[in-house]
């Protein structure tokens, strides 16, 4: 399935980038969008960069390399679930999904299926540097103009540099130490000839150093782009000054975290705090500031182009594939749900009660016989559980989710069927459009969110708490909680607020590709074994996954929690985390053999 970036570039010469990917970003206003122009990959560099429209299309094509957490839904067989299935938030029902073997550390650097990120990011970087080396102000134009095209060449350059920084950040997230491919000593963009051994045999730089370079790039870029475009109907999905601020906020937060800051140097937390506050200050001064979407659930299925919380999204798909892959399998008409992303009981338990207490805390009012009542409203917005209501009432499709299992011949409509089902008793509701009609299915716009405003507020809260303590941090996290009418945090120690902020990120940013990296940057796997974490509440366990078995007897419903070693009906594999190996993915084995200076991440070495 995978092809290393070296192999990809070996097959062609100087114009490889002109032979690869057609633009896949389709905006809602397709006839006008900056990002919807198809790029003719057969043209030479001289032809492309000698023409204003083709230069613009080349730049637009770079966006196809941005991270995309919903692209996998095009591959139901191997990737058709959210990547939180590689965390304690969820498991995948479909046995062939790659995530299941990743969770048991069953791949090597020679056959790991998700190393395509390496190729995608390096290809993106090379596209950016090719653009920077060849785009011409005389062709693009760089006049002082009103509106979004003011100093257009300068803005194009800033866009390419910001995209390049995003690709470097993605490399660090998955692979740790990485080369920095910016400008050479003469100030020229580094466009490697991938056919030359001396070019490809790169030394990687420490992840912390790369993150600092990314932050510096954002400082260089952020004022060269409008904080927000005046005409977002045309420019939606295009990086802007706000995206530069957002990337710096995330990069500095990761730099300050334990994985990249083992000595807990406060200066890095101060830098992360300032980066988040700089976004908030610039946003407050904007003509149209970013703001939390009024409806948390609607934030993930309503038209993303009109969503004022989204800072940057990868693309807009008009599809129902995502909805159907998430919907419980008993919901059927001319199309049916497959239900292949199964949230865990570990995740469900992390939702607080509406009074702000955890379910195991004294005074929580949690009722084991009625476990889903009086919970954080984000649980209802995120999870399909037994008794959830879904379906269009006006179409005769509304009913309650039924995942009960009394026996093989007495089970709920939504428990399991041949192509979908649940191992945990739960399905993922987040991202599912409630307007879907199963007997007459329609498509909806879906966008993979890269940055949104709630993350900035949570970044500010975390960095402020670590740098200065809780008193100044409450205001940011409490804005996020206020959206869903959860009680404000107050009167906590730094350690107590740290624990709650980590849980708040888990709830708020679930199934958006944050949990996988958060667990690692916090180094939460250190010292953890399946045996020694059994004494912890389920929501704090990382290796033992839990679900619920629902049985019914008349009107009586019983909930039995399953999953720990020796428990009944344990369908989930025990998670395996080899430390330090699994903090990062491996560098593709073919790359390390071709370019030995890259080295390999600890534990991933493969023999000749």
pLDDT tens for 207-233 read: 999 999 999 999 999 999 999 999 998
Q: For residue 82, what are the contacts with CB-CB under 8 A and spacing of at least 6?
A: 69, 90, 341, 428, 511
Calculate the alpha carbon distances from 599 to 167, 201, 451, 459, 578 in Å: 20, 10, 31, 32, 19
Q: Give per-residue pLDDT as tens, 88-100.
A: 999 999 999 999 9
pLDDT tens per residue, range 388-413: 999 999 999 999 999 999 999 999 99
| Residue 250, pLDDT above cutoff 60 | yes
Domain contains 31: yes
pLDDT at 579 over 90: yes
The predicted pLDDT at position 34 comes to 58
Answer yes or no: is 174 within a domain: yes
Residue 511's pLDDT is: 98
- Paired with 318 in beta bridges are 445
Domain count, the chain: 2
Q: Are 196 and 323 in a shared domain?
A: no
Question: What's the pLDDT tens digit per position in 115-149?
Answer: 999 999 999 999 999 999 999 999 999 999 988 99
How far, in Å, CA of 95 to CA of 605, rounded? Answer: 27
- Mean pLDDT over the full length of the chain: 91
315 pLDDT band, cuts 50/70/90, is confident
In this structure, the answer to whether residues 48 and 188 fall within a common structural domain is yes
pLDDT, residue 571, reads 61
- Phi–psi pair at 118, nearest 5 degrees: -60, -50
397 within some domain: yes
Confidence label for 578 from pLDDT (cuts 50, 70 and 90): very high
Tokens representing 383? 């999870």
Report the share of the chain in percent with pLDDT over 90: 86
12 and 148, same structural domain?
A: yes
Q: What is the pLDDT of residue 419?
A: 85
For residue 304, give every residue at least 6 positions away whose Cβ sits within 8 Å of its Cβ, in sequence order, or none: 310, 313, 316, 445, 446, 447, 449
In the predicted model, what is the mean pLDDT of residues 331-357?
A: 97
Let me know: does 21 contact 61? Beta carbons within 8 Å.
yes
Mean pLDDT within 354-361: 97
The reported pLDDT for the residue numbered 139 is 97
Domain boundary (401, 417, 446) is at: 446
Task: Examine the fold and report which residue of 431, 446, 461 is the final residue of a domain before the chain moves on.
Answer: 446
241 within a domain of the structure (yes/no): no
In a domain, 226, yes or no: no
Q: What is the mean pLDDT of residues 512-523?
A: 98
What pTM, to 2 d.p., does this model score?
0.93
* Domain assignment of residue 161, yes or no: yes
* Contact yes or no for 586/115 (Cβ under 8 A): yes
Task: List the domain range (segments joined by +) for residue 374.
Answer: 317-446
Position 200 confidence tier, pLDDT thresholds 50, 70, 90? confident
Phi-psi region of 356 (alpha: psi -120 to 50; beta: other; left: phi over 0): left
- What is the per-residue pLDDT for 15? 39
Residue 508 lies in a domain: no
Tokens of 582: 């699994």
CA angle 238, 242, 248 (to 5 degrees): 110
Reported as a pLDDT band with limits 50, 70 and 90, residue 606 is confident
| 12 and 136 both lie in a single domain | yes
> If DSSP codes are grouped into helix, strand and coil, which group holds residue 311?
strand
pLDDT, position 87: 98
Q: Which of 259, 131, 209, 317 is nearest to 526 (CA)?
A: 259
Give tens-digit pLDDT for 14-56.
Answer: 333 343 333 333 332 333 455 655 666 677 888 999 999 999 9
Distances (CA, A) of 4 to 82, 110, 523: 23, 11, 29
CB 124 within 8 A of CB 164: yes
The more confidently predicted of residues 205 and 606 is 205
Predicted confidence at residue 13, as pLDDT, reads 35
pLDDT at position 508 over 80:
yes
Q: What is the pLDDT of residues 429-439, one digit of tens each?
A: 999 999 999 99
Which pLDDT value is given to residue 597? 95
- pLDDT greater than 80 at residue 528: yes
Question: Is 268 part of a structural domain of the chain?
Answer: no
567 has a pLDDT exceeding 70 = no
Average pLDDT over residues 157-169: 98
At 261-296, the pLDDT tens digits run 999 999 999 999 999 999 999 999 999 999 999 999
- From 205, 228, 245, the end of a domain falls on 205
Question: What is the percent of the chain where pLDDT is above 70?
Answer: 91
């Amino acid at each position: 399935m995978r092809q290393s970036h070296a192999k990809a570039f070996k097959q062609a010469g100087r114009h490889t980038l002109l032979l690869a990917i057609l633009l896949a970003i389709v905006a809602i206003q397709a006839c006008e969008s900056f990002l919807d122009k198809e790029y003719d990959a057969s043209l030479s560099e001289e032809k492309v960069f000698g023409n204003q429209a083709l230069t613009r299309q080349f730049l637009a094509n770079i966006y196809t390399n941005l991270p995309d957490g919903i692209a996998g839904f095009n591959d139901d067989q191997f990737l058709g679930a959210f990547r939180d299935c590689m965390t304690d938030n969820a498991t995948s029902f479909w046995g062939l999904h790659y995530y299941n073997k990743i969770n048991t550390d069953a791949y090597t650097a020679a056959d790991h299926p998700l190393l395509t990120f390496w190729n995608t990011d390096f290809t993106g970087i090379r596209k950016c540097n090719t653009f920077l080396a060849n785009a011409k102000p005389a062709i693009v134009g760089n006049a002082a103009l009103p509106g979004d095209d003011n100093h257009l060449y300068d803005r194009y350059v800033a866009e390419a540099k910001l995209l390049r920084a995003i690709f470097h950040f993605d490399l660090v997230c998955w692979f740790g130490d990485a080369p920095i491919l910016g400008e050479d000593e003469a100030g020229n963009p580094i466009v490697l000839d991938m056919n030359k051994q001396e070019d490809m045999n790169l030394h990687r730089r420490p992840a912390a150093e790369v993150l600092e370079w990314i932050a510096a790039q954002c400082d260089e870029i952020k004022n060269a782009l409008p904080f927000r475009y005046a005409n977002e109907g045309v420019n939606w999905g295009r990086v802007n000054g706000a995206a530069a601020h957002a990337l710096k906020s995330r990069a500095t937060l990761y730099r300050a975290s334990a994985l990249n800051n083992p000595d807990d140097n406060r200066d890095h937390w101060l830098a992360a705090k300032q980066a988040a506050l700089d976004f908030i200050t610039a946003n407050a001064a904007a003509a149209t500031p970013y703001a939390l979407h009024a409806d948390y659930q609607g934030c993930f299925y309503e038209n993303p182009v009109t969503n004022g919380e989204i800072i940057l999204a990868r693309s807009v798909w008009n599809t129902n594939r995502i909805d159907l892959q998430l919907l419980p399998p008993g919901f059927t008409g001319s199309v049916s749900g497959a239900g292949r992303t199964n949230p865990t009981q570990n995740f469900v338990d992390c939702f607080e009660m509406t009074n702000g207490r955890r379910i195991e805390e004294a005074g929580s009012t949690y009722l084991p016989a009625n476990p889903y009542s009086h919970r954080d409203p984000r649980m209802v917005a995120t999870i399909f559980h037994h008794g959830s209501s879904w379906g269009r009432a006006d179409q005769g499709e509304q009913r309650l989710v039924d995942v009960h299992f009394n026996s093989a011949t007495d089970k709920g409509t939504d428990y399991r069927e041949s192509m979908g089902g649940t191992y945990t008793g739960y399905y993922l509701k987040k991202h599912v459009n409630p307007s879907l009609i199963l007997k007459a299915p329609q498509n909806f716009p879906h966008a993979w969110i890269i940055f949104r405003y709630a993350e900035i507020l949570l970044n500010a809260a975390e960095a402020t708490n670590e740098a200065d303590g809780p008193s100044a941090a409450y205001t940011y996290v409490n804005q996020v909680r206020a959206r869903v009418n959860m009680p404000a945090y107050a009167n906590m120690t730094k350690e107590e607020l740290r624990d709650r902020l980590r849980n708040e990120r888990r709830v708020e940013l679930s199934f958006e590709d944050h949990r996988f990296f958060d667990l690692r940057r916090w180094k939460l796997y250190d010292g953890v074994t399946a045996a020694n974490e059994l004494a912890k509440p389920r929501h704090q366990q990382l290796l033992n996954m839990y679900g619920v078995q629902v049985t019914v007897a008349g009107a009586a419903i019983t909930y039995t929690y399953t999953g720990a070693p020796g428990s009944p009906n344990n369908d989930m594999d025990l998670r395996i985390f080899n430390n330090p190996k699994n903090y990062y993915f491996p560098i593709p084995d073919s790359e390390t053999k071709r370019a030995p200076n890259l080295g390999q991440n600890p534990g991933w070495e493969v023999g000749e």
